[in-house]
Structure 1
């Protein structure tokens, strides 16, 4: 199957899932990736898996997320890519890249799920973005995500708070004061740690806001590894009190550079809402088998929108599944972390030994 053919089928599925089944399209995407992604084909051969043998998406070999730091995993020549998104490399020092021949599917995926979970049927709303512009971080998937949000859903009065590596919190205060004065709902979107720092700033200045009805806050990234760590529920309570927002209007977005879709948690419980073009399973990383419902394991996401690289990505995130839904528990540790490292080693050995 050619590039444009598979792309159009995915775009149609994102727009209308009833036109095709997930399994059917997943097998088509797998066949396309097996044929066009040389590194992934070598990995599948090392696992003794061929598209002719696969009958369900759960039989498609997922690539460990660390593999993106080990090899170029792309279905089209990287010199023809419109862009690539790059991981920060803060954990291992290595940076992984996810190449995109174009961003049409990535953008369709972002907008469709964003509209459903964030926009509340509003066409445009005044926004403040607590993260750098793509001009400063051109290879950040989060930067592109937030730019798409403000470009396609923000009013002309929307603003960026981050610039040249710093946050202009005085500018954000003026933005919020104006919102209160005019009773204009606003959306605040940005990295979790940015909001934590701003709340600290508010406390130091003895500030508090009561945002107009219809306002929302969306954070992403979590606080693990920062000076201050807190659960998603604790964070929601903190910002809800700081801005006088209902807790349900404080939403967490979970996303990854190595994927092309996002998940949203509006409850604070870690329950993630996936789009209909993504399926998630929970596995034991040591043997790759699915764990029982309610047991913790490593999350594996099968994302149709990620057709430029690989459909299945084995994360380093812990989770549990319950009745078809999954709950995010945080980063892997202990035996699970060792299992993730072993998976990367197996990937490295598999692609190096197979000619």
Structure 2
């Protein structure tokens, strides 16, 4: 597989970028195959991986034919596609877990095109929840804010600015200020939706504190969203256990969730009960737990559990085909999925990754 020339690369990239921005559901598979061929030629790490697998690019005709790059490559190699300019930022995973005394290694994902990331993530959110300028977003993300290279913080900073609300903002440890803003909104509703988005351990700490949260039932448009992750602060729990605690404490019927990670620029969202729907630029496939090259799509029975493979078209400048360490199964609705847990001996990290 021969790397393309710089001129050809630039023309191809701009064409693919525009297609990602304008993508409609019916064009997903075709665009994914175009991006596969582009990255097979222009991504040295992925190119080497495909070469070692003896992959014949011409025989890859559908999503399930595409080899997915194991996510661990982001720990040890610069995964980039093409000759790109200086990066905007390099995101890093939290790397909070050690396995058998081995120091954790953070995954690194380089962002070269901030406007593409912002455009894709905004469209995904608004297609699930409505216009951002109709929200107040209160982000309770202490562990993320203690780092300056979190992809979640980068995305939410953009969302908060897009709300145009003076009440939107981040909170590190000042939950009292956040609660005062919520009380103000409870007493003086303005018709906007309110999204309280928090890392799991921080939401649990608040739910189990002595703080009186009963006033939250007076906010009809309040949505609580769990981004997942204990970050080594608390014992890992089943999602169902966490959401039972949170619904009781916050007086809401469901807990929303976000599925994302350092290595992905697209997101999936759940409106409750652990059922995720991927954004327009993202698809989840499953692989056999004993054979990583046996990949199947949503046509297979929903009860089957497999390793989660993610197609993320927004990863145009890195790799769009990621073999994660998550275990999942498909939901009844087309493209929907559940996250069941993680493979043994994999890092416990990321957004909404609760062990079983």
Q: Is the 8 A contact 1:132 1:143 kept in 2?
A: no
Partner of 1:111: 122
Q: Is the 8 A contact 1:134 1:144 kept in 2?
A: no
Q: Is the 8 A contact 2:167 2:181 kept in 1?
A: no
- CA deviations 1:327-348 (Å, max 9, x no partner) are 11012228xx69xxxxxxxxxx
Partner of 1:64: 70
**CA distance in 2 between partners of 1:3 and 1:80 (Å):** 15
1:251 and 2:261 aligned: no
Q: Is the 8 A contact 1:127 1:154 kept in 2?
A: no
1:307 and 2:316 aligned: yes
Q: Of 177, 188, 191, which residue of structure 1 is paired with 2:196? A: 188
Partner of 1:157: 167
Partner of 2:156: 146
Q: Is the 8 A contact 1:84 1:98 kept in 2?
A: yes
Q: Of 74, 83, 101, which residue of structure 1 is paired with 2:112? A: 101
**CA distance in 2 between partners of 1:156 and 1:330 (Å):** 38
**CA distance in 2 between partners of 1:317 and 1:159 (Å):** 31
**CA distance in 2 between partners of 1:98 and 1:236 (Å):** 30
Q: Of 31, 35, 40, which residue of structure 2 is paired with 1:29? A: 35
Q: How much has 1:37 moved relative to structure 2?
A: 1.0
| Secondary structure of 2:295 counterpart | coil
- CA deviations 1:298-342 (Å, max 9, x no partner) are 1000111111111110111111124543211012228xx69xxxx
1:241 and 2:248 aligned: yes
| Pair 229,91 (structure 1): closer, same or farther in 2 beyond 3 Å | closer
| Pair 133,207 (structure 1): closer, same or farther in 2 beyond 3 Å | closer
| Pair 146,122 (structure 1): closer, same or farther in 2 beyond 3 Å | closer
Q: How much has 1:122 moved relative to structure 2?
A: 5.9
**CA distance in 1 between partners of 2:257 and 2:269 (Å):** 6
Q: How much has 1:276 moved relative to structure 2?
A: 2.8
Q: Of 271, 276, 281, which residue of structure 2 is paired with 1:277? A: 281
Q: How much has 1:113 moved relative to structure 2?
A: 1.1
**CA distance in 1 between partners of 2:126 and 2:96 (Å):** 31
Q: How much has 1:212 moved relative to structure 2?
A: 1.6
1:263 and 2:259 aligned: no
**CA distance in 2 between partners of 1:305 and 1:132 (Å):** 27
As a proportion of its length, which structure holds more helix?
1
**CA distance in 2 between partners of 1:307 and 1:35 (Å):** 13
**CA distance in 1 between partners of 2:14 and 2:148 (Å):** 24
CA RMSD of aligned residues (A): 2.7
| Pair 122,254 (structure 1): closer, same or farther in 2 beyond 3 Å | closer
In structure 1, the gaps of 5 or more residues are: 339-355
**CA distance in 1 between partners of 2:14 and 2:252 (Å):** 40
Q: Is the 8 A contact 2:96 2:232 kept in 1?
A: no
Q: Is the 8 A contact 1:133 1:147 kept in 2?
A: no
Q: How much has 1:61 moved relative to structure 2?
A: 1.2
Q: Is the 8 A contact 1:101 1:308 kept in 2?
A: yes
| Secondary structure of 2:134 counterpart | coil
Partner of 2:134: 124
Q: Is the 8 A contact 1:161 1:169 kept in 2?
A: yes
Q: Is the 8 A contact 1:76 1:101 kept in 2?
A: no
**CA distance in 2 between partners of 1:255 and 1:124 (Å):** 23
Q: Is the 8 A contact 2:89 2:149 kept in 1?
A: yes
**Runs of 4+ displaced beyond 6 Å:** none
Q: TM-score, normalised by structure 2?
A: 0.82
- CA deviations 1:211-262 (Å, max 9, x no partner) are 4221212120244865244333333333333233332xx3100101111111
| Pair 78,84 (structure 1): closer, same or farther in 2 beyond 3 Å | farther
Aligned length: 325
Q: Is the 8 A contact 1:161 1:172 kept in 2?
A: yes
